[in-house]
Amino acid sequence: MVEVMFGESEGGAMKIAQGYAENGQVNGIKKSEVVCIPFLLDIGNINEAVESEYRKNLIMELYTANGRVDKSIAKALEETWPIYLNEIERLKKYASQGEKIRLWYSNAPYSICGYYYTCSLLKDYHCKLSAIKLPDYKHGSDNKILFLTNWGEVEPEEYYKYLPFEEELTASVISEYALLWNELKVDNSALRAYVNGKLIGVLEDFYDHIIRKEIPDKEFEMVQLIGNILGKYPLGVGDWWYAKRIINMIERGELEVVNYHENKYCQVLKRV
């Protein structure tokens, strides 16, 4: 069995979950290979190859959205990028060997894009594919409903509880998702979003109305605005994307910098 995750933290959580099983605990996932496909395919040009310099540079831009090009971050990505690319080769190798592959995905745009991409990548391999989709919510303490956006919100010791949700992917289902991915590539919008149960290409300013709704009338720090948005609208969109769009609003004169800071997240802003 090969477990496929679509975010770095999720890949790490899966390895922790497998560690529980190795220690004889019932709340673990049986030890197997873990492959991570963390390419943020909901953002940018998807006609450029996933392995391209374009994708690497885009991820670097998002990781440094706070405006500080930290040399350690750049070095870490340079060192990690070959590992990312090798994950694709590992996945293809396991598929060619007929290994069973299980995809863990959610409705977060980056995750479902990774899911569609992987179906497209593996559609011509004769291997068994299955998937576990993260439910929209779970019952927390006091029977409260906790809404879920991505697998990173699930504790590793709880992963095993979702094994009953596994569904086999037939050849026709895999082909359909591969077709949907190809349609998204033809559309090739700047952004992809999950809207009314469907993954669609949208304009770069798709989430701007949410930002505008949350901008206070008084002065505010960018980080506070982004935190409010993430807490109020759990859409599976990263803080870096909101930072990128807020910076765009500053450049267009919609917002003004009151107090400059090298770390843009710490800048004090106000409406113009």
> What does residue 25 show for φ and ψ, rounded to 5 degrees?
-85, 145
Angle (CA) 72 73 78, round 5°: 95
Q: Are the C-beta atoms of 95 and 66 separated by less than 8 Å?
A: no
**pTM of the complete model:** 0.92
Out of 4-8, 59-63, 202-206, 221-225, pick the least confident.
59-63
Q: In this model, does residue 22 exceed pLDDT 90?
A: no
- The 10s digit of each residue's pLDDT in 98-142 is 999 999 999 999 999 999 999 999 999 989 999 999 999 988 778
Distance, in Å, from the CA atom of 183 to the CA atom of 36, rounded to the nearest integer, reads 24
Compute φ and ψ for 169, nearest 5 degrees: -100, 115
- The tens digit of pLDDT for each residue in 52-106 reads 999 999 998 888 877 665 667 778 888 899 999 999 999 999 999 999 999 999 9
Q: Does residue 235 contact residue 149 with C-beta atoms inside 8 Å?
A: yes
CB atoms closer than 10 angstroms to residue 194: 18
Question: For position 20, what pLDDT does the model report?
Answer: 78
Q: What is the set of domains in the chain, with CATH numbers?
A: 2-187 (no CATH), 208-271 (1.10.10)
The span from the CA of 225 to the CA of 118, in Å, is 34
Mean pLDDT computed over 142-160:
90
- Distance, in Å, from the CA atom of 65 to the CA atom of 243, rounded to the nearest integer, reads 6
> For 128-154, b where at least 16 C-beta lie within 10 A, e where not — what string?
ebebbbbeeebeeeeeeeeebbbbbbb
